[in-house]
């Protein structure tokens, strides 16, 4: 938004913070810290908004190494026993860590797209849950999360204070996504999961394009079974995999009109 703002005072405000952050880069390289990952993601976005693809790629690459060092590519929730009850704070911590990984992956994708260079993360190598809406625990008693490849599905049940109805704990149950009765559960997966999945698909496409930039095989784009063929099928399937409440229908369009501008932006992206 800053990039396209006609107000010069707004556009220059980000420069002040970015300058301070860049001056702190030497200390960032001295140790691995979760807050540094978040800062590097913001700096990458800042550089992209200023048409500096190289620096965006550079900062996102440092973030990639940090998320790997911190183990954020591993889904910690899979270590919990079925039926485990975790606090809302613990669930929120897990979710922030997931978001950091997926945002780093997104910046890695954008960096590869801007520079045409190889990407650092291969999404197919990580079996991490897609992020969900943080406020979902306030609006739903039951919600779900799945992995990028759909091989793992988690059911959350929110335990609330009987008097205030405030969320206190969350019970975690793994489900088998192959069972027909669990297919409908995808209707209750948050919108951010589908946005992150779209970015992950984009990353697969960008990596394939960058790999084939100097290929002499002019038929690789059309050969059945090629990476391009598989990505084309994946892109075609993505809209049909969306829950009905996120699809492009007249009824949903009317519902979206009543949303706040911030929330509506997410639906516009989808």
| Segment 126-163, tens digit of pLDDT | 889 999 988 889 888 999 999 988 899 999 999 999 99
Range among 103-112, 168-177, 234-243 rated most confident: 168-177
Across the range 230-244, mean pLDDT stands at 82
How many Å from the N-terminal Cα to the C-terminal Cα in the chain?
18
Determine phi and psi for 55, rounding to 5 degrees. -70, -35
pLDDT of residue 4: 47
Share of the chain above pLDDT 70, in %: 80
pLDDT of residue 114: 79
Across the range 192-219, mean pLDDT stands at 81
Let me know if residue 25 belongs to a domain.
no
| Lowest model confidence (mean pLDDT) among 122-131, 166-175, 191-200, 238-247 | 238-247
pLDDT of residue 167: 94
pLDDT at 268 over 60: no
Let me know if residue 231 belongs to a domain.
yes
Residue with tokens 């009543």: 258
How far apart are the C-alpha atoms of 65 and 107, rounded to whole Å?
13
- The whole domain housing 112 covers 71-266
CB neighbours of residue 139 within 10 Å = 9
Q: Around 218, how many Cα atoms within 13 Å sit in the side-chain half-sphere?
A: 0
How far apart are the C-alpha atoms of 112 and 208, rounded to whole Å?
11
How far apart are the C-alpha atoms of 270 and 256, rounded to whole Å?
12
CB neighbours of residue 247 within 10 Å = 13
Range among 38-42, 210-214, 228-232, 251-255 rated most confident: 38-42
Considering its fold, how many domains does the chain have in total?
1
Q: Name, in order, each residue with C-beta under 8 angstroms of 243's C-beta and a sequence gap of 6 or more.
A: 186, 187, 188, 189
Confidence tier at 217 by pLDDT (50, 70, 90): low
| Helix, strand, coil share of the chain (percent; to 5) | 60, 10, 30
Report the candidate in 178, 159, 2 with the shortest Cα–Cα distance to residue 87. Answer: 159
Let me know if residue 32 belongs to a domain.
no
Confidence tier at 75 by pLDDT (50, 70, 90): very high
- Could you tell me if 144 and 130 are in contact, meaning their C-beta atoms sit under 8 angstroms apart? no
pLDDT of residue 8: 59
Let me know if residue 49 belongs to a domain.
no
Across the range 47-57, mean pLDDT stands at 81
Strands (DSSP E) contained in the chain are: 85-87, 142-146, 153-160, 167-175
pLDDT of residue 248: 77
Query: How many residues comprise the chain?
Result: 270
- Could you tell me if 74 and 128 are in contact, meaning their C-beta atoms sit under 8 angstroms apart? yes
Let me know if residue 46 belongs to a domain.
no
pLDDT at 42 over 50: yes
pLDDT at 6 over 60: no
Let me know if residue 181 belongs to a domain.
yes
Whole-prediction pTM: 0.81
Let me know if residue 182 belongs to a domain.
yes
Confidence tier at 1 by pLDDT (50, 70, 90): very low
How far apart are the C-alpha atoms of 25 and 39, rounded to whole Å?
10
Q: Please write down the long-range contacts of 75-82, taking CB distance under 8 Å and 24 or more positions apart.
A: 75/127, 75/128, 75/129, 75/147, 75/152, 77/129, 77/154, 77/172, 78/127, 78/152, 78/174, 80/172, 82/172, 82/173, 82/174
Q: What is the mean pLDDT of the chain?
A: 82
Burial 159-190 (b: 16+ CB within 10 A, else e): eeeeeeeebbbbebeebebeeeeeeebbebbb
In terms of Cβ atoms closer than 10 Å to its own Cβ (0-12, 13-18, 19+), residue 265 is exposed
Across the range 250-265, mean pLDDT stands at 68
pLDDT at 23 over 70: no
pLDDT of residue 80: 85
Let me know if residue 58 belongs to a domain.
no
């Amino acid at each position: 938004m800053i990039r396209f703002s006609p107000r010069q005072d707004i556009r220059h405000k980000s420069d002040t913070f970015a300058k301070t952050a860049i001056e702190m880069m030497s200390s960032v390289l001295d140790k691995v810290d979760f807050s540094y990952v978040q800062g590097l993601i913001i700096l990458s976005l800042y550089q992209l908004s200023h048409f500096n693809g190289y620096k965006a790629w550079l900062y996102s690459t440092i973030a990639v190494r940090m998320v790997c060092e911190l183990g954020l590519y591993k889904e910690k929730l899979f270590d919990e026993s079925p039926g485990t009850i975790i606090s809302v704070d613990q669930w929120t911590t897990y979710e922030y860590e997931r978001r950091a990984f997926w945002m780093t992956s997104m910046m890695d994708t954008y960096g590869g797209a801007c520079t045409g260079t190889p990407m650092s993360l291969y999404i197919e190598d990580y079996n991490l849950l897609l992020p969900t809406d943080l406020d979902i625990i306030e609006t739903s008693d039951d919600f779900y999360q799945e992995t990028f490849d759909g091989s793992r599905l988690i059911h959350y049940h929110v335990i609330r204070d009987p008097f205030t109805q405030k969320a206190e704990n969350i019970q975690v149950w793994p489900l088998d996504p192959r069972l027909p009765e669990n297919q409908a559960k995808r209707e209750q997966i948050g919108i951010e999961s589908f946005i992150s999945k779209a970015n992950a698909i984009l990353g697969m496409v960008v990596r394939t394009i960058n790999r084939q930039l100097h290929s002499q095989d002019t038929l690789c784009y059309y050969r059945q079974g090629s990476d391009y063929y598989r990505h084309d099928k994946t892109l075609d399937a993505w809209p049909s995999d969306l829950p009905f409440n996120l699809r492009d229908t007249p009824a949903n369009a009317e519902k979206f009109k009543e949303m706040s501008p911030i929330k509506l932006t997410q639906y516009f992206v989808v």
